[in-house]
A and B are shown apart, each in its own frame.
Chain A
Amino acid sequence: MTLIEKYPQEVKQILARYPQDQKRSAVMPLLYLAQRENGFVHRRDMKDIGAMLDITETDVASLVGFYSLYHDEPAGRLRIQVCTDLSCALRGADDFLAALCESLGVEPGGTTPDGLVTVEPVMCLAACDKAPLFQVQTGAGLEYHERMTIEKTLEWIESRKEAAS
């Protein structure tokens, strides 16, 4: 199913936002749309978007590569992104990330064998006074989890596991 078949209303609205002769500008919102369901942009959607906007598939792929909120491969169902910038590091974010990876048995950037959790370090999440913190990308948007401890995080992962099963 192509993007326009799946989300006809949204695609129309997005295209209407930009000038007629500047269709290419719609590429970023369309990529978000393509990513909504599975958390990553599928190859065929890139092709699809390129065709809709008169740009090449390579152009679309280069944007997916440039912007760090677009992903071209699937990750765990919970993508936990921990901020490790300076102000968070001062509040123990590095130790938090290391301990979280250790308790889940993954490397930073890795996914647990059951495919549930991916843990990755990211740049500033703009809640520096509430570190250690992480955000989780979900279909509906972003969730922030602030002032975290390992215990609280593991508890939360458990609860999501139960909710999913």
Chain B
Amino acid sequence: MNFSRSMVLVSSDPESVRRGADEIYALFEKEIAARDMEGEISISRLTDTGRPDAAPIVVIYPEAVVYGPVNAENVKEIVEEHLYKGRVAEHLLAPTRELSGRIGWLKTRKGTLPAEKRIVLRRAGRIDPENIEEYIAEDGYQALAKALTGMKATEVIDVLKESGLQGRGGAGFPTGLKWSFVAGTQSEKKYVVCNADESEPGTFKDRVILEGDPLAIIEAMTIAGYAVGADEGFVYVRGEYKLAQNRLENAVKQAREYGLLGKNIMDTAFSFDIHIHSGAGAYICGEETALLESIEGKRGEPRSRPPYPTTEGLWGKPTLVNNVETLANVPPILLNGGQWYRQFGTPSSPGTKVYTILGNVNFTGLIEVPMGITLREVVNIYGQGMKDGATFKLAQTGGSSGSVIPASLQDTPMDFESFRKAGVSLGSGALLICDENTCVVDLALVLQKFFKFESCGKCTPCRVGTGRIHEILTGIVEGRGTLKDMENLDYLVDSLTRISNCGLGQTASVPINDVLKYFRPELEAHIKLGVCPCGVCPMSAPVKEPAAVA
């Protein structure tokens, strides 16, 4: 999707289609093309408007004007008046008094265009990722030059603090603050580590960044090295990401040739070099202390904290560990300033977020949008509606360890703060959308299979707890569940969350906890009634036959 000044959404629920929505969509394309505005205006389909009486509906952003019912003759006028002359065609507006329910959300976003905004992915797919000259031609290395020649290390950190950038690995820790911790620790040797061990099922945003724009990470790490006083860095890349590894290796090689890595970068006193370290298939290594253990050549088992890596990290030295997407935000922030970054997203979570959209929607793939858009927008606009016209049931944000978001929370703005307030977490950026045919118990079982396999086995609550939850859920889907199981699940969730050593165990309980919280009746139906309401689980326990009448 291009940068668009306007966005046209045409409803495409079955009722709208029956009343000619497809024709209207085609006419919009034609009329917009006739005025050479294709580059400025994007057209998408919108489903699930909940307003069959006003169908077909046409919504135009950023004004959030809702037209309806629209017929083929109106299209030319809407394009002419609204899109070309910028005047709302009042007499074609949908009756506002009746606008309520599911379409009501559109009005609340008036004035903001939830269109894509590419900061992190601005170069991915546009430049040759194996050619440093193309990177440099597209603003590459300007941020580093600005930092090295005109800014003190503390000033670099101040800009990051001002921008409000938060870690994009899932926890949302303020990046500037983390940098200042490492900068403030006295040591002769410090390290910068990029966490590219993206293993959360459903997340592949970092892969796209690494493969599409590897030098952005190399430049950002170099800037980080300057800001915190480190002279060496490691990129820890997932073992499965061979292409990303090759491109990073190549990027490092080219940067060295151009004098952008190594001794006296850009003829200053600053020296910095980067190595690539490949993981080997262990989910736990995405946890930062397990990752450091792994670089040190050990089993990836998390350390006890404190001390945190910022004071005692790789080989005992102060270490800055940042996620790929976090780092990719650094050069543009440095170039354009902290205030520039704050114009995107929400006040508590500025900037953009890269999401992967998956599951039962019509479009699956990758988007980068300002923080604070809602799940409903993601499903209707970017996901182009639920597949086969089904109803949205739940979404899981952030991969296996992410929250299970019920339909009642789908209008919560997606930023760290709003989600925290709603008692759920945003996680790393995977948005798995599930429809009404998805059984939550089955879903929880698949997730738990993953944790049982990936638990590193170091601490007992996680090693035993993930296995026990899996066992109990298996019993429930096979029709052997008892009410005691519910109690046991509550207990296990609580102990996993509170006494596991690291984030894996603490968050393994998140989805199952949400299932217990939002979908308890469905779980109980499996146990008490012996039925799977969605007809997914085998429930093969023998059904008690009523006693035969003699």
- Which of A70, A87, A123, A126 contacts B432, CB < 8 Å? A87
Q: How far is the CA of A85 from the CA of B281 in the complex (A)?
A: 14
B280 touches A85 (CB 8 A): no
Q: How far is the CA of A22 from the CA of B432 in the complex (A)?
A: 42
Which residues in A have their C-beta under 8 angstroms from that of B295?
25
B364 touches A129 (CB 8 A): yes
- Which of A19, A53, A68, A126 contacts B203, CB < 8 Å? A126
Which residues in B have their C-beta under 8 angstroms from that of A53?
297
B204 touches A127 (CB 8 A): yes
Binds A, one of B164-172, B193-201, B371-379: B193-201
B446 touches A85 (CB 8 A): yes
- Any chain A CB within 8 A of the CB of B207? yes
- Which of A26, A124, A142 contacts B202, CB < 8 Å? A124
- Which of A55, A68, A135, A142 contacts B280, CB < 8 Å? A68
Which residues in B have their C-beta under 8 angstroms from that of A128?
201-204, 356, 358, 364, 430
Q: How far is the CB of B456 from chain A (nearest CB, A)?
A: 8
Which residues in B have their C-beta under 8 angstroms from that of A87?
201-202, 358-359, 430, 432
Q: How far is the CA of A68 from the CA of B282 in the complex (A)?
A: 7
Which B348-405 residues have C-beta < 8 A from chain A?
356-360, 364-366, 396, 399-400
* Interface size, chain A (Cβ < 8 Å): 36
Q: How far is the CA of A89 from the CA of B444 in the complex (A)?
A: 12
- Which of B360, B438, B450 contacts A123, CB < 8 Å? B450
A63 touches B299 (CB 8 A): yes
A69 touches B240 (CB 8 A): yes
- The CB with the most chain A CB atoms within 10 A, among B240, B281, B366, B446, is that of B240
What residue in chain A is nearest B453 (Cβ atoms)?
A: A123
What residue in chain A is nearest B359 (Cβ atoms)?
A: A90
A27 touches B297 (CB 8 A): yes
Q: How far is the CA of A28 from the CA of B238 in the complex (A)?
A: 12
Which residues in B have their C-beta under 8 angstroms from that of A17?
275, 277
Q: How far is the CA of A16 from the CA of B396 in the complex (A)?
A: 43
A29 touches B278 (CB 8 A): yes
What residue in chain B is nearest A83 (Cβ atoms)?
A: B201
A124 touches B432 (CB 8 A): no
Q: How far is the CA of A90 from the CA of B358 in the complex (A)?
A: 9
- Any chain B CB within 8 A of the CB of A103? no
A67 touches B281 (CB 8 A): yes
Q: How far is the CA of A68 from the CA of B281 in the complex (A)?
A: 5
- Any chain A CB within 8 A of the CB of B315? yes
A24 touches B297 (CB 8 A): yes
What residue in chain B is nearest A67 (Cβ atoms)?
A: B280
Q: How far is the CB of A88 from chain B (nearest CB, A)?
A: 8
What residue in chain B is nearest A129 (Cβ atoms)?
A: B364
- Any chain B CB within 8 A of the CB of A32? yes
B299 touches A26 (CB 8 A): no
B282 touches A86 (CB 8 A): no
> Scoring B residues 399 to 419 as 1 if CB is less than 8 Å from chain A, else 0, what string do you get?
110000000000000000000
Which A57-112 residues have C-beta < 8 A from chain B?
62-63, 66-70, 85-87, 89-90
> Scoring B residues 322 to 361 as 1 if CB is less than 8 Å from chain A, else 0, what string do you get?
0000000000000000000000000000000000111110
Known: A25-B295, A66-B282, A141-B242. A85 touches B365 (CB 8 A): no
Q: Which residues of A contact B (CB under 8 A)?
A: 17, 19, 22, 24-29, 31-32, 53, 55, 62-63, 66-70, 85-87, 89-90, 122-129, 135, 141-142
